[in-house]
């Protein structure tokens, strides 16, 4: 059996390795359009490779996927983070869990993961051909004819792991096979705020904020980072992922509302502020930070509502109390544009999931064709979830339902 795997990224490698493990006699070849293999694996997690996430409940795990939640329930029954950890540890790569649940190799080097996958491909006798973009793919009887850059090849089965594409045209060759493409739009991105003075606080982070976009149902919680262009951090990235299509329709121009105190409501915040005033009436307002926010941010918010920072707490007055509380709980900023999150380009969109069997990853439209990774309309929030989807779909696709 001749199997062609299109794409030399995480999903392509895992699919090829799985295919060879399940069908040792098959001839498996990875075709990569560029001269680079496992490029995203190498740069992910700041060069450490965020392999997966320590979430071991499948029903909880699927909640980290803005697109694909329902369908991934079936897929994770076959291969999930527990299996990922075992797979790598069986090949000498131990993973460690960080406080936020992200999992990395204990070496803190993505090259460890790259080396492991390359070694497994070599050991399995899988061929690799670089500089071989797929120009066209056609079904001929029960076989496939693939037009590459400089040759024609025939395959019994084809696994498509070509990754996401920023434009629908990037999927045209799959549309020709009868597949419907959900139009791709950026998913993980940070918010640009060119006209907001808050940028002077670049580098300041808050452990837990609640962020929402008024006029939509979009709301997330988590750490937030102020940058020299606007805002980033998990709270913002999650919002960008869940709101990918809505924010595209808004042309990336909208207002966000931030509760700097996380899930705290006005009554609880007022109680804390009132207690602080009663206990330390002679304390300077700028020296009092009852909500334990970063000092620079707290003073910025005081200035924003024109509170004299040199005044004493007993002099704050009810009107200023109300203005401060309103800003702490409902602070607003104008977003005008986006920036790609590091080099980890993620899109929502791709092959429509209704047209793929999630138990086998085989096309319902074109039997013998399989899909893995970001070419599917699946994407996760930041934290190792996109790689887990790649390992899972790659593993299942490689089994091939013969």
CA–CA gap between residue 114 and residue 38 (Å, rounded) = 7
Q: Are residues 262 and 116 in the same domain?
A: no
Give the model's pLDDT for residue 58.
Answer: 98
Indicate if 24 and 118 belong to the same structural domain.
yes
- Alpha carbon distance 120, 17 (integer Å): 7
Give how far the C-alpha of residue 223 lies from the chain's centroid of Cα atoms, to the nearest Å: 15
Which residue bears the tokens 């909208």? Answer: 254
DSSP assignment letter at 377 = S
pLDDT of residue 346: 79
Q: Is residue 54 within 8 Å of residue 101, measured between CB atoms?
A: yes
Structural domain boundaries, residue 213: 189-340
Distance between CA atoms of residues 245 and 223, nearest Å = 23
Residues 335 and 356 reside in one and the same domain: no
Q: Are residues 224 and 312 in the same domain?
A: yes
| Predicted pLDDT at 67 | 96
Say if residues 17 and 399 touch (Cβ distance below 8 Å).
no
Both 143 and 222 in one domain: the answer is no
Of 313, 340, 367, the residue at which a domain comes to its end is 340
Tell me which residue of 342, 372, 336 sits closest to 357, measured CA to CA: 372
Please provide residue 225's backbone torsions phi and psi, each rounded to the nearest 5 degrees.
Answer: -120, 130
Q: Which of 147, 189, 188, 128 is nearest to 335 (CA)?
A: 189
Q: Which residues of 200-228 are buried (b: 16+ CB within 10 A; e: fewer)?
A: ebeebebebbbbbbeeeebbbbbbbbbbe
pLDDT for 45: 87
State the helix-helix crossing angle for 385-399 and 81-89, rounded to 10 degrees: 80
Which residue, 296, 311, 340, sits at the end of a domain? Answer: 340
- Looking at the fold, whether 176 and 215 belong to one and the same domain comes out as no
CA 328/CA 299 separation, integer angstroms: 12
**Count of the separate structural domains present in the chain:** 2
Q: How far apart (Å, rounded) are the C-alpha atoms in residues 207 and 202? A: 15
Cβ distance 371 to 351 under 8 Å?
A: yes
- Using alpha carbons only, what angle is made at residue 332 by residues 327 and 335, rounded to the nearest 5 degrees? 160
Clarify whether residues 98 and 222 are in a common domain: no
Report the CATH number that the domain containing residue 154 is assigned in CATH: 3.50.50.60
Do residue 244 and residue 378 come from a single domain? no
Same-domain pairing of 220 and 306: yes
Give the long-range contacts of residues 277-281, CB within 8 A, separation 24 or more. Answer: 277/313, 277/314, 277/316, 280/313, 281/312, 281/313, 281/314
pLDDT at 342: 57
Looking at the structure, tell me whether residues 316 and 231 fall in a common domain.
Answer: yes
Write down how long the chain is. 402
- Of 331, 333, 339, which Cα lies nearest the Cα of 192? 339
- Beta partners for residue 259, in sequence order: 210
Per-residue confidence in pLDDT tens, the chain, 402 aa: 999 999 999 999 999 999 999 999 999 999 999 999 999 999 988 899 999 999 999 999 999 999 999 999 999 999 999 999 999 999 999 999 999 999 999 999 999 999 999 999 999 999 999 999 999 999 998 899 999 998 999 999 999 999 998 889 999 999 999 999 999 999 989 999 999 999 999 999 999 999 999 999 999 999 999 999 999 999 999 999 999 999 999 999 999 999 999 999 999 999 999 999 999 999 999 999 999 999 999 999 999 999 999 999 999 999 999 999 999 999 999 999 999 765 556 789 999 999 999 999 999 999 999 999 999 999 999 899 999 999 999 999 999 987
Q: pTM of the entire structure?
A: 0.90
Distance (Å, rounded) from C-alpha 208 to C-alpha 259? 9
302 shares a domain with 201:
yes
Do residues 11 and 394 touch, judged by C-beta distance below 8 A? yes
For the record, the structure tokens of 373 come out as 């990774």
Q: 168 and 195, same structural domain?
A: no
Are residues 10 and 394 in contact, defined by beta-carbon separation less than 8 angstroms? yes
């Amino acid at each position: 059996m001749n199997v062609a795997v299109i794409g030399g990224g995480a999903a392509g490698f895992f699919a090829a390795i799985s295919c060879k493990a399940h069908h040792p006699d098959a001839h498996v070849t990875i075709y990569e359009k560029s001269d680079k293999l496992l490029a995203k694996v190498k740069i992910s997690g700041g060069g450490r490779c965020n392999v997966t996430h320590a979430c071991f409940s499948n029903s909880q795990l699927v909640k980290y996927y803005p697109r694909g939640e329902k369908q991934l329930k079936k897929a994770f029954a076959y291969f999930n983070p527990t299996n990922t950890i075992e797979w790598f540890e069986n090949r000498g790569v131990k993973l460690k869990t960080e406080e936020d649940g992200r999992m990395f190799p204990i070496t803190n080097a993505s090259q460890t993961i790259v080396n492991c996958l390359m070694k497994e491909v070599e050991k399995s006798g899988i061929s690799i051909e670089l500089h071989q973009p797929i120009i066209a793919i056609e079904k001929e009887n029960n076989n496939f004819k693939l037009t590459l850059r400089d040759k024609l090849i025939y395959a019994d089965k084809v696994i498509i792991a070509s990754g996401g594409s920023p434009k629908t045209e990037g999927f045209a060759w799959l549309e020709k096979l009868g597949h419907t493409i959900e139009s791709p739009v950026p998913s993980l991105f940070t918010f640009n705020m060119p006209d907001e003075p808050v940028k002077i606080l670049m580098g300041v982070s808050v452990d837990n904020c609640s962020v929402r976009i008024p006029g939509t149902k979009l709301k997330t919680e988590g750490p937030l980072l102020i940058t020299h262009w606007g805002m980033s951090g998990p709270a913002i990235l999650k919002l960008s992922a869940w709101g990918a299509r809505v924010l595209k329709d808004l042309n990336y121009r909208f207002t966000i509302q931030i509760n700097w105190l996380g899930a705290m409501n006005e009554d609880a915040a007022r109680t804390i502020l009132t207690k602080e005033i009663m206990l330390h009436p002679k304390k300077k307002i700028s020296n009092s930070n009852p909500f334990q926010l970063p000092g620079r941010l707290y003073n910025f918010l005081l200035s924003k509502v024109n509170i004299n920072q040199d005044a004493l707490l007993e002099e704050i007055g009810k009107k200023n109390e109300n203005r401060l509380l309103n800003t702490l709980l409902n602070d607003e900023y104008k977003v005008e544009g986006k920036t790609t999150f590091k080099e980890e380009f993620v899109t929502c969109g791709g092959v429509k999931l209704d047209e793929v069997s999630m138990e086998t990853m085989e096309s319902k439209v074109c039997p013998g064709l399989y899909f893995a990774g970001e070419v599917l309309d699946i994407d996760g929030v930041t934290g190792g979830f996109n790689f887990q989807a790649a390992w899972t779909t790659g593993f299942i696709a490689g089994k091939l339902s013969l």
